[in-house]
Amino acid sequence: MTITALLKKVLPFSKPYKNLIFYTLFLTLIGSFAAQVNAYILKYTVDTISELLVQKQPLSRGFYLLGIIAAILLGKEIVYAGVQFGQKLYGEKLRIMMARDFSQAIIERILTYRMAFFTSAENESGKLQTRIDAGISSLTRLVQNFFIEILPLFSNAIIALVCMFLANIYLGLVGLLLIPVYFYVSQLQATRLSGFRRNMRNYRENKSNQIINLVESILVIKSFGREAVEAARHKAIQFDMTENQLETRKMSYFFDSIKSFIERIGMVLVIILTAYFVLNEQMSLGAIMFHILLFNNVSAPIRQLHRIYDEMNDALIYSESFFSILEAEGQREPTGVHRPAVIRGRIELKNVDFSYPNGFQALRNVSMFIHPNENTALVGLSGAGKSTIINLLDKFYTPTRGQILLDGIDLADFDTAYLRACLAKKSYF
């Protein structure tokens, strides 16, 4: 899934919280301007102090300067604290509310799915649970971080970049150049890592499922003395998983070093360029600190880029399976529209074959009548398929071949919920 596809899917879930999002965006804008204050104040301070030193001004004017700076910085910190409080609170609120909505949506949806969905091997309870939990937590973490980290950092970076351009076009260009290079490297890193992550997801699902299986079949394991075999099986999975983890880390550290190298080179360029302009008397001494702080504001979010990519990739990979469950249209329980006022209860099975989702054929060419107002007993060996027939009559599954008729009408044509309500009430079987 691509990031735009993901956003499209998440958008409907964020609609109810439009106000919350609007407040967060507003706070972000204020925060981004406040973040540049330090750079300007530092430049002003350095320039004024050097001027005072040159003019041999009395200390009292220096104190006046410090008073003004302290007042501005204090004011800025108060605004900043307020902004951060609001951002964190709204971000968390959004995460909690959306997690609730995602969970409710998936529960409501899977309740409408046919029995085969629940009994298929890929949806064994442990796997389904892990997949849904991981999907919801990575999605909501992404939404939260978008508002309390990604968005503030990037709007901060854009404003800092504009300030750099306003200060000097060459400096602006150094800042601007850093961005595509960093994006490219982070993208490369993300692509390399996504394969590992996908494997990790499978390992995790299998692992949690394995423990559930182990607990459920402990009686069999102990009876047949298969403890050692089971332990070896777990060990193999564990080893593959650690191997995968180590490779992931190695790859991450490799790219991290490259990126930190690029950033440092950028910083060196900024310092050299500014020092040149200062020596050339095109800029004041305060410009050095000013530019370093601005560059830092540009590179800080970029430094976070790989983490953001990581989170996005997590969300993309985990939400892929979450949405594939949520949007599994093919899994919806089939229903017809037939709702007769009375069901007499004449049932006919015509050459019915049935295979369970795992491929096991439980019924082969079964034909029979069940007449209304009679007691009919279904007798057979264990595993003969008695419960399977009841499952088919209840429309829990559909026959693989053949037909089941109720009062002469194909069971598939009946409204499923109505049919089950009638079966439960009258219990024909």
Contact positions vs ligand ATP (CB under 6 A): 119, 356, 358, 360, 362, 380, 382-388
Tokens of 290: 């000013």
Cβ 383 to ligand ATP shortest distance, Å? 4
Cβ-contact 292, 270 below 8 angstroms: yes
Compute the distance between CA of residue 403 and CA of residue 351 in angstroms, rounded to an integer: 7
322 CB contacts (<8 Å, ≥6 apart)? 102, 106, 131, 132, 134, 135, 136, 139
Neighbours of 337 (CB within 10 A): 8
Residue nearest to Mg ion (CB): 387
102 CB contacts (<8 Å, ≥6 apart)? 13, 135, 136, 139, 140, 322
| DSSP-assigned letter for residue 385 | S
376 vs 387 by CB, closer to Mg ion: 387
Cβ 243 to Mg ion shortest distance, Å? 44
Report if residue 104 touches Mg ion, rule: CB under 5 A. Answer: no
Residue 383 site contact among Mg ion, ligand ATP, none (CB < 5 to 8 Å, cut-off depends on kind): ligand ATP
**Residue 379 — left, alpha, or beta (φ > 0 → left; ψ -120 to 50 → alpha)?**
beta
Cβ 211 to ligand ATP shortest distance, Å? 22
Cβ 119 to ligand ATP shortest distance, Å? 4
386 vs 420 by CB, closer to Mg ion: 386
The residue range among 33-41, 111-119, 259-267, 387-395 that interacts with Mg ion, by the rule CB under 5 A, is 387-395
Please compute Rg for the chain using Cα positions. Answer: 33
Tokens of 148: 């309390």
Question: Taking Cα atoms as reference points, which of 146, 168, 147, 166 lies closest to residue 158?
Answer: 166
Compute the distance between CA of residue 71 and CA of residue 68 in angstroms, rounded to an integer: 5
First to last CA, the chain: 47
Cβ 357 to Mg ion shortest distance, Å? 18
Neighbours of 215 (CB within 10 A): 9
Cβ-contact 28, 151 below 8 angstroms: yes
Residue 55 site contact among ligand ATP, Mg ion, none (CB < 5 to 8 Å, cut-off depends on kind): none
Cβ 361 to ligand ATP shortest distance, Å? 8
Cβ 222 to ligand ATP shortest distance, Å? 23
Residue 245 site contact among Mg ion, ligand ATP, none (CB < 5 to 8 Å, cut-off depends on kind): none
102 vs 428 by CB, closer to ligand ATP: 428
2 vs 382 by CB, closer to ligand ATP: 382
Residue 392 site contact among ligand ATP, Mg ion, none (CB < 5 to 8 Å, cut-off depends on kind): none
Report if residue 238 touches Mg ion, rule: CB under 5 A. Answer: no
375 vs 382 by CB, closer to ligand ATP: 382
Cβ-contact 165, 335 below 8 angstroms: no
Residues contacting Mg ion: total by CB under 5 A: 2
Cβ 391 to ligand ATP shortest distance, Å? 7
C-alpha torsion angle, residues 181, 185, 187, 188 (rounded to 10) = 140
58 vs 380 by CB, closer to ligand ATP: 380
Compute the distance between CA of residue 377 and CA of residue 386 in angstroms, rounded to an integer: 10
> CA angle 98-198-218, nearest 5°?
90
Amino acid at the residue 270:
V
Tokens of 421: 């309500």
Cβ 371 to Mg ion shortest distance, Å? 22
139 vs 362 by CB, closer to ligand ATP: 362
Interface pick for Mg ion out of 229, 351, 387, 410 (rule CB under 5 A):
387
Residue 5 site contact among ligand ATP, Mg ion, none (CB < 5 to 8 Å, cut-off depends on kind): none
In the Cβ-directed half-sphere of 260, how many Cα atoms lie within 13 Å? 6
Cβ 355 to ligand ATP shortest distance, Å? 8
196 vs 354 by CB, closer to ligand ATP: 354
Residue 380 site contact among ligand ATP, Mg ion, none (CB < 5 to 8 Å, cut-off depends on kind): ligand ATP
191 vs 387 by CB, closer to ligand ATP: 387
Footprint of Mg ion (CB under 5 A): 386-387
